[in-house]
Structure 1
Amino acid sequence: MNDNKTPHMASVYDEQVRQTIPEYVLFHDQIIDLVKAYNDAPSVWLDTGCGTGTLAMKALEQFKDTSFILTDPSVDMLNIAKTKLAGNNRVRFAGSAGTLELDLPGKSIDVITAVMSHHYFDIESRRKATENCFRMLKNGGVFVTFENIRPNSEKGVQIGLERWKRFQLAQGKSEESVQKHLMRFNTEFFPITLEEHRHLLRKTGFGFCEVLWVSYMQAGFYAIKS
């Protein structure tokens, strides 16, 4: 039995996610660059669904005066993150919870990131998780999320999955493991379209939202609370 919602055990997640998600190594760089462009000195940054702590580890080097709060539903992921970030007094772990359950004081956080986590929710749970992020942000705070996405047409889904398959095979994954992963689409994770993402962010109350990044069947978004 797996120890988190991804198809990879926490102990091998860092290696295997790069073989599974195209351009995954660039997601964190895009987030850091976006935050720098918007607010180069955030006070508090919450990384929910932090995984093994890689984003926080990179961001700590770039934001010298920022405090980080890390959470993840997987205890095993959190334990790896705690090892990676051991001894850093700017990092606090707020327990094994995702954005759906997290209960931090409202309007207290400058940056919230949720990378490859909300697509595991159904529509109603995704709405509630997004609203919780909105609640926790300060006015003027920024929410950044990266997710698997769904093309607008069934033909687009077919072509997108074929491209995703070709990427994974090129990374050395077996045909069996690739097929097993692609079968999770709309059965274990539930992508929505680019416009559905934007609609959700606007309906939640964000005064401003944009697409940050699109590649294969993944996209990044950012939204500002005003």
Structure 2
Amino acid sequence: MSWVWEKIVWFTNQTSGTPVHKPDNADRYDRQIRMTIPHYDNIHEEILNFVKVQYPNPKTWLDTGCGTGSFIRKAQDIFPDTEFFIADPSEGMIKKASLTLDGCRYSLLGRCGTADLPAITKSRFDVITAIQCHHYLQPEKRIAAVHACYSLLDGNGLFVTSENIRPFSDEGIARSLSYWGAFQRQAGRRMDEVRDHLSRFDHEYFPITVTDHLQAFHDSGFSIAEILWLSYLQGVFWCRK
């Protein structure tokens, strides 16, 4: 979930290629993200409402790329009997999530990216969510991350992911970025901040089209892969094993 940070926040782990977040910036995330992603809270609500209808009583739920833990904090209120598990490659985010989730029923699987999770746990989960956490990955690593989610789901498990998406044409990209930039300006970001963030498209984060997303889900083994929600350059997808 951590792609909205300024460039200075991120650096690349040369071994894993996983973005790592500096601990002293974790507190800024929840303030900044609403100025960057349109309908951010609606994305959370759509996912939680969808799971509530489709899988009303999950016993176990993994949130990979958990960020500050705000999503699972909301989920805990709706699913009080569910046991939650979290993971994130950022030490700063894990520390922040532990504060956000104080009093919640959850377990930390580890400080790691999604693709590393099968080596850490043999557990299987009824629900897995991955919100804004795979688009920094190059194609091979993205496929590995999606396949890891597939392998960690229980037999009839539900995978829901929110990711940025790539328009199909150059003009589509240009107009979508312009529209997205207008939102960020109206939300209070400075022009230089907006320009800097939009310039990272295809350089620091690597969006793929809706079609490529769905194909990646099917290639990983999911029998069903569908679109739940689309807006600006973000999309929410759900998959069933």
TM-score higher than 0.5: yes
Residue of structure 1 equivalent to 2:34: 18
Query: 2:208 aligned with 1:192, yes or no?
Result: yes
Stretch of structure 1 that moved more, 103-112 or 204-213: 103-112
Quote the Cα distance in structure 1 between the aligned partners of 2:71 and 2:155.
24
Query: 2:123 aligned with 1:94, yes or no?
Result: no
Quote the Cα distance in structure 2 between the aligned partners of 1:171 and 1:6.
26
Is the Cα contact below 8 Å between 2:70 and 2:97 reproduced in 1?
yes
**Which of residues 175, 178, 182 in structure 1 aligns to 2:194?**
178
Residue of structure 1 equivalent to 2:59: 43
Render the CA deviation track for 1:67-106: whole Å, top value 9, x for unaligned.
Answer: 0001111110111110111233x21111211202113445
Q: Over aligned residue pairs, what C-alpha RMSD do you find?
A: 1.6
Residue of structure 1 equivalent to 2:83: 67
Quote the Cα distance in structure 2 between the aligned partners of 1:168 and 1:7.
22
Quote the Cα distance in structure 1 between the aligned partners of 2:85 and 2:57.
16
Quote the Cα distance in structure 2 between the aligned partners of 1:162 and 1:7.
27
Partner SS for 1:120 = coil
Partner SS for 1:78 = helix
**Which of residues 161, 164, 167 in structure 2 aligns to 1:145?**
161
Quote the Cα distance in structure 2 between the aligned partners of 1:198 and 1:160.
21
Query: 2:118 aligned with 1:118, yes or no?
Result: no
Render the CA deviation track for 1:46-83: whole Å, top value 9, x for unaligned.
Answer: 00000000110000000121000011111101111101
Decide whether aligned partners of structure 1 residues 75 and 99 sit closer, same or farther in structure 2, where only a CA change above 3 A counts. Answer: same
Is the Cα contact below 8 Å between 2:61 and 2:83 reproduced in 1?
yes
The one-letter code sitting in structure 1 at the alignment partner of 2:79 is F
Is the Cα contact below 8 Å between 1:41 and 1:63 reproduced in 2?
yes
Gaps of at least 5 residues in structure 1 are: none
Offset of 1:7 from its aligned partner?
9.2
Decide whether aligned partners of structure 1 residues 86 and 107 sit closer, same or farther in structure 2, where only a CA change above 3 A counts. Answer: closer
Is the Cα contact below 8 Å between 1:48 and 1:112 reproduced in 2?
yes
Is the Cα contact below 8 Å between 1:106 and 1:137 reproduced in 2?
no
Query: 2:146 aligned with 1:127, yes or no?
Result: no
Decide whether aligned partners of structure 1 residues 106 and 38 sit closer, same or farther in structure 2, where only a CA change above 3 A counts. Answer: farther
TM-score by length of 1: 0.95
Residue of structure 1 equivalent to 2:234: 218
Residue of structure 2 equivalent to 1:83: 99
The one-letter code sitting in structure 2 at the alignment partner of 1:41 is N
TM-score by length of 2: 0.89
Gaps of at least 5 residues in structure 2 are: 1-7, 12-18
The one-letter code sitting in structure 2 at the alignment partner of 1:82 is S
Quote the Cα distance in structure 1 between the aligned partners of 2:129 and 2:43.
11
The one-letter code sitting in structure 2 at the alignment partner of 1:2 is V
What is the number of equivalent residue pairs in this alignment? 224
| Identical aligned residues as a percent | 41
- Post-superposition, which runs of at least 4 consecutive aligned residues in structure 1 deviate over 2 A? 3-9, 103-107
Offset of 1:120 from its aligned partner?
0.7
Is the Cα contact below 8 Å between 1:211 and 1:219 reproduced in 2?
yes
